[in-house]
Structure 1
Amino acid sequence: MNFSSALRQLSQVQKPARGAPFYARFVNRPVGRVLAATAHRMGLSPNHVTAVSALATFAAIAAILACPPSYALGRWVTLALLLGFALDSADGQLARLTRSASPSGEWMDHVVDCAKLLGIHAAVLISFYRFFELPRTVMLLAPVGFQFAAVLLFFGGTLTDQLKRRGSEVSAGLRPRSSAVRVMALLPVDYGLLCLTFLFLGNQKIFCGLYVTLLAAHVLLVPAFLAKWFRELYRRPAEESAGRL
């Protein structure tokens, strides 16, 4: 299969758009599609792509905690994080293209995703402590809170998806379509937006302001997501029973 054919087939095996925020949907998935087609031509497996994604992401995380903040560092970190994010999309697309999806591959993907969320905020905490002139010491709690909210959001969403799979054939027709309002509303919890904030790593005030703003958005949205997921799962037995009648 050549590159163009792989791209065409990949466009037909995309995940549903519902639930995907702006950057992930309109930037990351298309870039990931190109990377998946490239990986297919190179003979790489989805696990290989996941491993390269992890290397790019954790190289950026190591740079955040080890190097003094600067605009040059911020550009490099942003590029590496976004590359890792795109490859994180590419591995799943490649698995669907080659019909090689497996529990071990999904496990590896989720473990890397969880590790990067833990790592990126831990790196920001260390960078704050080592290099930043924070107005107040309490600012050191911001990465801790952000890490908690981000991991909780990731785990809650992943677990909800896993539980929904049990009755996916019944509920497939019950899923509402994604809307432009929903896509934009999810932007504050878009990992791609977090990556882009590192472009301002050279200006401590701007970076801290953006980081705290995203933290505040997570604090507001995480309870809403948890309540929504609980309601969906709570109603699910009734919906599945209705679907079997």
Structure 2
Amino acid sequence: MDDTTEQTGARAAYAQLARAQKSGAGVPWYMRVVNRRLGRLIASVAAQTPATPNHMTAASFVAFLAGAGLLVAVSPGVPMAVGAMVLLQLGFAFDSADGQLARLRGTGSPAGEWLDHVVDSGRHLLFHLAVLVGLYRFTDVSDAVLLVPMAFGLVSTVRFFAQILAEQLARRDPVAGPESVPRFGVWIQAPADTGLLNLVVLLWAWTTPFLWAYGAFAALNALLLAATCVRRYRELAALRREP
């Protein structure tokens, strides 16, 4: 396949995915407006190659590990922070590309969806562990401050599981599906947007500003966890009353 044919095929694939995009109900801003488009672009190009959705998932995890690894292994600095942020965002974009490539080729499967969720769950926890180790190695923050990434990791992991499990349990009923998200859910859920949290890494070179921003995200995500648990429980409890 020559370059012109490949470019034409990628454009057609991009347009096809744009028409078949999933609902944006309740999807945070960066994930919906930026990350889905980046994932669509990657999937459109990958569709012209033998790459599979599982390859996209693997690439997502490799890029994420590279970004998180910089937080753990390299002393904080501006170039390092920019590099870590770019790698984390690249991993996030590949995470969107795997599902879009599967949709484009019609090869989606329970096994692929399961693998995607397993990698996502690992990413949610490992990011905060990387922050914890980086703070411990390269700063002189107190032990109390080190509790923040530990708590954030717990909150993030539990909320991710609560969301995914509720969607699976209510998959055949719209009551607890994506359309049940409140009208302003896009903005309410902004603190849980992985893309926005990755941008906070740009402050990694300056410990105090980073901790203030990261701590604010942690507190807001704790509130979101409480709200998610209440909302999802009520929705699933309502399903039980249906005949």
RMSD: 1.9
Residue 103 (str. 1) matches residue 113 (str. 2): no
Change (3 A) 1:172 1:65: closer
Match of 1:54 in 2: 61
Aligned counterparts of 2:91 and 2:104: Cα–Cα separation in 1: 20
Deviation of 1:172 (Å):
9.3
1:166 is paired with a residue whose SS is: coil
Moved more, 5-14 or 218-227: 5-14
Instruction: Point out where structure 1 has 5 or more consecutive residues left out of the alignment.
Output: none
After TM superposition, the score normalised by the length of structure 1 is 0.91
Tell me by how many angstroms 1:238 deviates: 3.8
Q: How many residues align?
A: 236
Query: 1:173 & 1:117 partners in 2: Cα distance?
Result: 22
Distance in 1 between residues matched to 2:101 and 2:26, nearest whole Å: 21
Q: What is residue 175 of structure 1 aligned with on the other side?
A: 179
Aligned-partner Cα distance in 2 for 1:176–1:133:
45
Q: Is the 8 A contact 1:17 1:178 kept in 2?
A: no
The 2-side partners of 1:55 and 1:203 are apart by: 26
Call closer, same or farther: CA 1:164–1:28 in 2, change over 3 Å: same
In structure 2, how many angstroms separate the alpha carbons of the residues matched to 1:204 and 1:48?
Answer: 35
- The code of the aligned residue for 2:208 comes to K
Aligned to 1:203: 206
Aligned-partner residue type, residue 179 of structure 2: R
Give, in whole Å, the separation in 1 of the partners of 2:160 and 2:177.
25
1:194 maps to 2:197: yes
Mapped contact 2:170–2:176 kept (Cα < 8 A)? no
Aligned to 1:138: 144
Q: 2:171 aligns with which of 165, 169, 175?
A: 165
Moved >2 Å (runs of 4+): 171-179
Q: 1:231 to 1:72 in 2, by over 3 A?
A: same
How many angstroms does 1:110 deviate by?
0.8
1:172-204 Cα offsets, whole Å, 9 max, x none, are: 99935774x321121111111110000111111
For residue 88 of structure 1, report the CA deviation from its aligned partner: 0.4
Matched, 1:77 2:80: no
The one of 216, 220, 224 aligned to 1:217: 220
1:46–1:95 CA contact under 8 A, matched in 2: yes
Gaps of 5+ in 2: 1-7
